[in-house]
Amino acid sequence: MDEEFDFLKKGFEKLNIDYWLDHGSLLGIVREGKFMKSDGDLDVSTWWAEVKNNIDELINYFNNNGYQARIYSYNNTPFKIKLLNKGSYPIDINIYKKTENFAWQPAIRLSPLETVDNNLLFSKIRILPYFTLSLIWRVLFVGYGTGDGIVKRANLDSESGIINELVSSDKNIHISIDSIPYNYFSSIGTWLIPRRFFSSTSFYDQIYPVPSSYVDYLEFRYGNWRTPVSNWSTWHDDGGLINTPPSNVF
């Protein structure tokens, strides 16, 4: 993923956009000293205020370098750009908004079973019709092993996780997660991060931009982040994610 990071770095520096490593990419660099290929993609984050005036120019940079951009929006505002290119790892650009005390971003949940309490039979029965419809939608339009999406986006190598083929030839695909049909076959949570964690950035190992208080941030997100967890569930275990859409939070 180092090549993907170098490519992304050039684009952000060209447009003078502040950004930082986030999610599993941040965890990998700090804990393992490298990006974790098992994480599946490269994750960086930035502020909406940083990209709102030049998002088209940023996407053009990606397109001109062979990347397909999938632009996710909520309430008519982009909050995530997923970049796909044959022979590369997927790249996620997470775009946060600010309140006085929090940084926030919508979160997409494609599988409703991710939030079911495994100890409650009632929960499983209640969600069965929803899951059946979601399963049909994924088989017909999304495809397994391809990550989130409204249409099947790519075929990934089962061992390396590198993209073998882009299914769609479109340069850009726009997805409004709170509009039909996407909102019917998925549900929405909220990444809710105390803003102090993103108040400033520094360079880890003199190369990688990270939140200045990355240790506290990783503890907030993962708890004992120094010890790998084999059965980690983002929707159950991540301290920065709540199972409530932004419209119910703000």
pLDDT in tens, 57-116: 999 999 999 898 989 999 999 999 999 888 888 899 999 999 999 999 999 876 544 444
Number of domains in the chain: 1
% the chain with pLDDT above 90: 54
Least confident piece of the model among 31-40, 107-116, 238-247: 107-116
Residues 189, 212: Cα–Cα separation, whole Å: 26
**Alpha-carbon separation of residue 6 from 2, 9, 11, 13, 187 (angstroms):** 6, 5, 9, 11, 33
Q: Among the listed ranges 18-27, 52-61, 151-160, 173-182, which one has the minimum average pLDDT value?
A: 151-160
Q: How far apart are the first and last CA of the chain?
A: 35
Residue 109 has what pLDDT?
75
Residue indicated by tokens 């983002």: 234
pLDDT of residue 122: 43
Q: Where are the alpha helices (DSSP H) in the chain?
A: 2-14, 23-27, 48-51, 55-64, 121-137, 214-222, 234-237
Beta carbons of 4 and 202 less than 8 angstroms apart: no
CA pair distance 63, 54, nearest whole angstrom: 14
Band (pLDDT 50/70/90 cuts) for residue 184 is low
> What is the extent of the structural domain holding 175?
2-248
